[in-house]
A and B are shown apart, each in its own frame.
Chain A
Amino acid sequence: MDVQKYIASGTLELYVAGLLSEKENEEIHRYADVYPEIRKEIEAIEAVVLQLTKSTSPGMPNTAFDAIRSHTNDDVVPLNTKTPVFSYLGWAASLLFAAGMLWMYLENGKLNTEVKVVEQERQTLKEQLDGIEETLANNEETEWLLNALRSKEIAVVALNGQSVAPTTYAKVYWNKKEQKVYVDAQGLPEPPEGYDYQVWSLTLEPLAPTSIGVLSNFEVNSTRVFELQNDNTSEAFGITLEPEGGSETPNLEQLYTLGTVGP
């Protein structure tokens, strides 16, 4: 490169004026590092410009920089400490955040346990309530039964154990007016699987049985009292063990209890 020719071109004068492109500026910056003549030339041109520009200054008061410094002070402290302070703050913030997350996690676990405990308590209370309701219902049923049996319309028939089951017994409460019988089967054992007790209304002369019903769901009826319709002019009641669902005619071999209606 012809340094003298480059200097003579006037490019460096434009460089000092700030009139070149970024690319040209970078190029000249490199040349100035490589060629001391170019660096010296730039400094000489700048010296001229400095001389000229200084000559037009109205002069600056000596205190002028104090005003500028007051602006720099705002910056100096934060700028020098900004990075550490903010990075510590950042770390502190993330630690706080992590601690917060852990705390939330633990709290959440505690709450979940509490929810389970409350759920269990709720279940227990529900069961207790169900029990109370059941008892109340049973009480109501018992009361209703008692009222039914205490009616003056009721005829009580005691049924005694027959040869197949001598220790068994039953009672029939017959409300002729309402044509209902209440069979108290407390004295009968649970029927075997696949069998039901069947209640018969009997006339004695001639001996003729009429089915008035089956004691269905025997094992789940806690009172063992069964309500049946009876519009017959019954002279006796008998209970036989029949295949599930009952039979057309009684199996007298399996006659458990029998009792005649009193006069």
Chain B
Amino acid sequence: MTLSLTPKRKQKLYVLLGLVALAAIAVGLTLYALRANINLFFSPVQIAAGEAPFERQIRAGGMVREGTVVRNPDSLDVEFTVTDYVDDVRVHYSGILPDLFREGQGVVVVGQLHQGGHIMADQVLARHDENYMPPEVAQALEEAGYKPEDFQQKAADVAKRLEAEKAAGNRNGDGATSSSY
């Protein structure tokens, strides 16, 4: 182990070669891991058009359509419809929904699309956006040829109406969290 006696240049070369080799391995592994773990985003319009792959982890988002949230009375299973006011997709989920989950509000789910056209979600993320719609969804709709006024107004109307109803409900009742479903 007396490499320090060999010319410094040689040592430098080894360091450099080692660095390049390590970097190559690291980048290779990273890209591989990245490929296997990317979740693409799809809106209901894209899912209806058949763009989303089946049985693969994807993210999907839109608004929770009012009146579609169905709870199983004996378990934590829940079903609801995610819509972009053009197309719908049904979502199955088992677990606790986030605090900000509400009908008429934006939501992003992570899960797998199944053959029947429904999503089995592992994760539900609620989004509170000023434009009442997750930006990804709005963009997907615009790319599908819809104009913002087609859906944005609708989304805003529904959300505002539900909020107004909720505020009225809160004034009448005494419960802190009068759930709307």
Partners in one complex: no
